[in-house]
Structure 1
């Protein structure tokens, strides 16, 4: 089932959602490193009803997200503060862009451009979305575990002390952000909240089936010996029969996913000898 982004904001946080959202990519951040070797990025997605910030932990999925292009997403995790998580389980489909209302675009622009100093952030009311501020990291605590009272879940947590010309403020970082490497004396800006249109090319003389999205397409080499049951090659060698293949002599297979309109994702295979 397809749902609008306005409905995504009403979903229960932390509960995986198997529904599909269809949105336009509005903005895409640079890649951030956390846990020393892991990487992620933030992508702003919008439709005609609202917008969300997607925390993308799957870099293969990130390469499919281009600004002003369309995307369909299934199996994501809703988070607080307009966020959703996209990970290895999430299914991504290239799609045509959806119309984004001027009101939604203006709301996104105001959110991205809003900036606070330490004093105004410290004086803002509790439980409000402050916005973005810029400061120098004066001190960073070690990462520890904090228990969320409502759920009993233990999550990573650390504190930063940020300073600017107007003073200092303590910022609490949770979950994946807490494990991001943020060196002291460095500037930190926390937010305190392929060109082708693949779609709907229907045959004229048969009942149309609209494909609304195309997922990842993978190609790999196979052993051409039938008794090996098309075993995937380890580089150029079949580990079952021992045959070493030269360039172009092995069989190959292409697999991927498509998203038909009003249906579930379908996987396709095509093998050549």
Structure 2
């Protein structure tokens, strides 16, 4: 018996709407789900869900190592979920009682591009409730600056783009047509509404083929382009001077000997 079940793909944070074909209790096909907010398209990974779910290499039960870690044969043996969870909890508690919860480190795969996206909040809650400050994330090179660098620099994450109200959308090193289809759909809607799209990327494939202006910069030349754009804004006086003076460090003086910003105490007469 074959039936189609509406749902969403869990393989990344886009959670694209999907129409899932199930035959004899087996997932055999995944297609976009029209009408779903993120159901306009599915990437190759989403369409490969049947292959992933039915892979003979997929682990569906816990395995316990029975031989030392330096043994070429781990000696995996199958155990129940209750056995695995009880064993892990016991070991965690023993370490915490002997050395404190900070002696335990947790690791989680990226929530951006894996099914961990629907579980990461619970993992973080477990880590905090346990009392450990140690949580290691596996984060993509393209995601670290977005998720962490901005927050470490400015105290807040990068936020969400307001594509629905934008007149100009700049995709700088970002290729949602290849990596984030939900955003690509919103950008396409904005462009049909009249917004202009500029893509800055050495490669044109993907979003660079669906834009009004593609700037194919050489790898490593982004800083030169950014400085040139800043010079043009200042020269044409088309920047928001009040905002720049109040909310950025652009008007600060720089000590050329150290490369650091000059503080008032370092100026003559202070």
Specify which structure has the higher proportion of strand: 1
TM-score (norm 2): 0.23
TM-score (norm 1): 0.23
Pick the structure with greater CA Rg.
Answer: 2
With a CA cutoff of 8 Å and minimum separation of 6, indicate the structure with the bigger relative contact order: 1
